[in-house]
């Protein structure tokens, strides 16, 4: 379980093919010093298991299912990823409960920016998602985008067959310390809807 509060914008060191998947290695001294083999770490919103630690390098294994359903499949050496170690009992919960189980790939649909420099840049980002995920969203609710806990601003249904889209307001700090600051229109992002919304939808469907 995670909170969606990214603790590091880490660099990808390498991706090495292993069977149907890859061995993904990232570099971050702070995270590496606090995890052990077998621990769970949220990488761009995807829960992965630590399989190796070498100094400041942390290795994970990602299978074909993970690579096909998340944006981890397009990473390259030098790419940046959001990292968050798993939540411990008693830790402060500043975001919302994030499972690290990505629901779908969303697409950056539009970026509306305000401000003239990176220090004063405020932006409203719009993302397109399938209809199944837009049904689990509500204005002022929570969503995780690339593992970042965000508050939903607008939630819109699109014409049948086109899914829906939602917006979030990003402050300069979030743009500077997560992958969202480098995202462009057309980029894929990992989306996880609020786990509570999934249970509510399931219960209502059962009626």
The structure's pTM equals 0.92
Which residues make Cβ contacts (< 8 Å) with residue 150, sequence separation at least 6? 4, 142, 143, 144, 168, 170
CATH topology match: 8-85 vs 104-206: yes
pLDDT digits (tens, 9 = 90+) for 163-204: 999 999 999 999 999 999 999 999 999 999 999 888 888 888
Give me the CATH code for the 104-206 domain, please.
2.40.30.20
H helices of the chain, in order, are 29-32, 64-69, 131-134, 172-177, 195-206
Q: Domain segments of the chain: what residues?
A: 8-85, 104-206
| Domain spanning 8-85, CATH class | mainly beta
Which stretches in the chain have pLDDT values below 70? 116-120, 207
Q: Which of 76, 32, 33, 83 is nearest to 58 (CA)?
A: 32
pLDDT of the residue at 102: 97
């Amino acid at each position: 379980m995670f909170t969606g509060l990214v603790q590091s914008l880490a660099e990808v060191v390498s991706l090495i093919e292993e069977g149907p998947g890859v061995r993904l290695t990232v570099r971050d001294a702070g995270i590496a010093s606090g995890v052990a083999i077998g621990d769970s770490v949220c990488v761009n919103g995807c829960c992965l298991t630590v399989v190796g630690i070498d100094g400041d390098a942390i290795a994970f294994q990602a299978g074909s299912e993970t690579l096909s359903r998340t944006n981890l499949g397009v990473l390259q050496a030098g790419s940046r990823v959001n990292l968050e170690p798993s939540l411990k009992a008693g830790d402060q919960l500043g975001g919302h409960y994030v499972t690290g189980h990505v629901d779908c790939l969303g697409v950056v649909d539009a970026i509306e920016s305000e401000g003239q420099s990176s220090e004063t840049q405020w932006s409203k980002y719009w993302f397109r998602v399938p209809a199944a995920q837009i049904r689990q969203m509500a204005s002022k609710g929570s969503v995780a985008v690339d593992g970042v806990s965000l508050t939903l601003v607008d939630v819109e249904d699109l014409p049948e067959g086109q899914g829906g889209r939602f917006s979030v307001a990003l402050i300069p700090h979030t743009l500077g310390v997560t992958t969202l600051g480098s995202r462009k229109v057309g980029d894929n992002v990992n989306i996880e809807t609020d786990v509570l919304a999934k249970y509510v939808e399931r219960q209502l469907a059962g009626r």
